[in-house]
Structure 1
């Protein structure tokens, strides 16, 4: 999974003027959002009755559903392959765990990877090499540092068996080594990765006027998986160390993943936790491959605008599940924890965005407006949730419908 350096700038798209994570996604790109400037203003808390006394019938939910509907199974192997890759996201190391500075979203990511469905330039060539060895599916993440000096693209690809993964490693490494990256000033040369003799890696140098850096591209077989990295840092040693630490963390983690036999993909449940049915649904034609699912803690952090900050909030609130539909729902330990999580989110969203009216009938609902639209946050029982929309009336209706869904039982 190697992408050209220097030529591809951040193409992640913010919602609601740099709002949080996991909101309704616009278009076909997977989005991350950012909230990193100073807080301005205070959130406007909607007036309303105390928690537990909301009259659901009084809420304006527009045409949105308010009753959970069972979702069944994947039904088709190709749908099951997506579900399985979404499950894999819970076992793919986040770049910020390798280096806490790697929190800024980079490239269209995170992404579910499927044969023939990789849209990022240069990844297509690697994907074609992987397909020759019956590539099954995978998951891709990418983050950079705020100073733009370090980044890490990282993916886990699954193959039918360890033999296919080993053969694919050699082919992918060969293809990647032939890709000329922008501003590359030296040929790609073989590079040993400390502590990982099984890894096939190359290094190259790059220069952009006063700035220079080293790039390492690597492929490592691990059972039926291939672990892929493209990393950038100030010099070769630092970059190789970044790859080595990624492998130190990723190898044992993917070993814990209980993979489903592809012959059983069609039978995979779409909503094993039941939380997706309680999440405002997004139409399949509008969804991207990382939506319409429920992630565990690590998988949910992959979509956070600042995963280091959110990791602390998740731990404090006891978040164990994150559901991504048209809205995003976070399952916390209890109602008090969910309210605190909503407060944390509101503080983050308040960075650089203007407070606006919440939903009058929902106590403690908060909304904000920014250049890209509107964002609202609330809690219901043990759940915190957030929505985004271009029009504030739509955001209010989504928020109300999401509350009703969660309280419907």
Structure 2
């Protein structure tokens, strides 16, 4: 087409849009996406029905649900705003052993009979973890109060022995807390039974460890703050009776069924699952930003599977998440999206890092925003394309 004809065609297109009723405040029309042309590789592109879970899957779902009733570290103390990178799959809900306890599965089971599921949150006071204070809170749910009380004592003793913690420490207004430390170190470990729960709190100050100084009152104060808030929030949680766990649906409004299934090579990551807004913030590497963003966008659910799938209040909210989570920065440069999915936002990590994946893409469809990452460009394109196709077919 010659240039004058191209200009005329463009003008007619604009007139056509105006004639269709688009006023000056109307958003520009979205590019039409032909999902049959998307390169999805071997990834599935159809939504799924999530059936009745097996017992261990139901336990894991209970732990993920529990995450919605545990405060973020930054809610306990505003210093703790740096959370682990989400791409590496932080350990959150668990059913075998708590990673930070450093106990084998067999040792954990021997010390915690009646354990159902747990949820662990972790954050740092500094971006550089080598000089940061860390605050870890885990809540372990047991079949009954007796099991929790017994496990608090046996786990506390097991950790005290393993870590060489010789001196018990009183935690202010929490006389039932079993806390230990090794004099001369800046680490404190605490276990407290609270109904059917065991609340495990761990505080480490790497800067003081490095220079060989201690401040036990500061650690005790932080553990007390944590126990106060965690205990108060847990009052709102209603545990599912163990014999009813498999009767509770693990999906919500088809969210899990809309998510891109995780490939086998991602099997090392934190288990897939569904989180409410509070639980989702535990997966964020920037919870201050995302707390504000989730409120503005109206996020209510997040699925963690082959990537993240957010549900917002509206299409506009979904686009807010897409654009915020794909913004270029000092560490990320913008790259082209897949050719058949021009509405996606993609970027590349500028540095070489064993923790952070090189490529990252987001895309929104209706109320949903997908976020995926990979060290291979073709793979991240195929993931975001397949997730988009699933969302398009689910509506």
Quickly name the TM-score band, shorter chain normalised.
Answer: 0.7 to 0.9
| Residue 151 (structure 2) aligned to one of 150, 154, 168 | 168
SS in 2 for 1:136: strand
Query: Does the C-alpha gap of structure 1 residues 285 and 344 become closer, same or farther in structure 2, counting only changes over 3 Å?
Result: closer
Given the alignment of the two structures, is residue 151 of structure 1 paired with residue 131 of structure 2, yes or no? Answer: no
More helix by share: 2
Tell me the residue number matched to 1:399: 384
Distance 1:191 1:155 in 2: 19
Distance 2:167 2:237 in 1: 33
Tell me the residue number matched to 1:60: 39
Query: Does the C-alpha gap of structure 1 residues 285 and 393 become closer, same or farther in structure 2, counting only changes over 3 Å?
Result: closer
Q: Deviations over 1:63-119 (max 9, x none)?
A: 322221101111x2222222222222222222222223323346983233324x455
| Residue 291 (structure 1) aligned to one of 271, 286, 305 | 271
Tell me the residue number matched to 1:325: 305
Query: Does the C-alpha gap of structure 1 residues 132 and 279 become closer, same or farther in structure 2, counting only changes over 3 Å?
Result: closer
User: Which protein has greater RCO, CA pairs closer than 8 Å, 6+ apart?
Assistant: 1
The runs of 4+ residues in structure 1 deviating greater than 6 Å are none
Q: Deviations over 1:342-387 (max 9, x none)?
A: 111112x634123211123334322112233211112111112211
Q: TM-score, normalised by structure 1?
A: 0.77
Give the superposition deviation at 1:332.
0.9
Q: Deviations over 1:4-40 (max 9, x none)?
A: xxxxxxxxxxxxxxxxxxxxxxxxxxxxxxxxxxxxx
Distance 2:105 2:56 in 1: 22
Q: Which runs of no fewer than 5 residues in structure 2 stay unpaired? A: 1-27, 206-213
Give the superposition deviation at 1:275.
0.8
Alignment of 1:109-258 (within 5 A): 109-115=90-96, 117-118=97-98, 122-124=102-104, 128=108, 131-146=111-126, 148-180=131-163, 188-206=166-184, 214-233=186-205, 235-258=215-238
Distance 2:265 2:115 in 1: 25
Distance 2:376 2:276 in 1: 31
| Residue 373 (structure 2) aligned to one of 374, 378, 388 | 388
Give the superposition deviation at 1:288.
5.2
Distance 1:293 1:129 in 2: 23
Tell me the residue number matched to 1:77: 55
Give the superposition deviation at 1:126.
10
Q: TM-score, normalised by structure 2?
A: 0.80
Distance 1:302 1:238 in 2: 24
Distance 2:366 2:107 in 1: 44
Q: Which has the larger radius of gyration?
A: 2
Equivalent residue pairs, number: 347
Distance 2:337 2:66 in 1: 36
Q: Deviations over 1:253-277 (max 9, x none)?
A: 2222221122123333231331111
Q: Deviations over 1:377-409 (max 9, x none)?
A: 121111122111222122112112211211221
Q: Deviations over 1:176-218 (max 9, x none)?
A: 222335xxxxx632222122222121233445xxxxxx32211
SS in 2 for 1:104: coil
